[in-house]
């Protein structure tokens, strides 16, 4: 895990900009999102899914596997 300061330095953004992104006060450009993804080694699709979406997707995949199984 990176601090806001460390992430900001890696991608050339201020700590305040990172905080605003985290708190939903600012939506970054696609280029910035890609930079964040690379810096944090996080898949962009996963990064923007809610916990509920991830849980539902997992449950759906488990059901599909049971049907195949």
Q: How far apart are CA 59 and CA 37, in angstroms?
A: 26
Residue 46: its pLDDT value, please?
A: 72
Tell me if the pTM is above 0.75.
no
CB atoms within 10 A of CB 36: 20
Residue 1, pLDDT > 90, answer: no
Residue 35, pLDDT > 90, answer: yes
Give mean pLDDT, residues 16-24.
Answer: 93
Residue count of the chain, please give it.
69
Q: How far apart are the first and last CA of the chain?
A: 37
Residue 53: its pLDDT value, please?
A: 82
Q: pLDDT-based confidence at 57, cuts 50/70/90?
A: confident
């Amino acid at each position: 895990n990176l601090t806001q300061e460390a992430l900001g330095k890696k991608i050339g953004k201020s700590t305040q900009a990172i905080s605003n992104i985290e708190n939903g006060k600012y939506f970054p450009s696609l280029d910035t999102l890609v930079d964040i993804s690379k810096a944090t080694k996080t898949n962009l699709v996963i990064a923007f899914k809610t916990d509920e979406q991830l849980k539902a997707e997992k449950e759906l995949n488990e059901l599909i596997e049971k049907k195949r199984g």
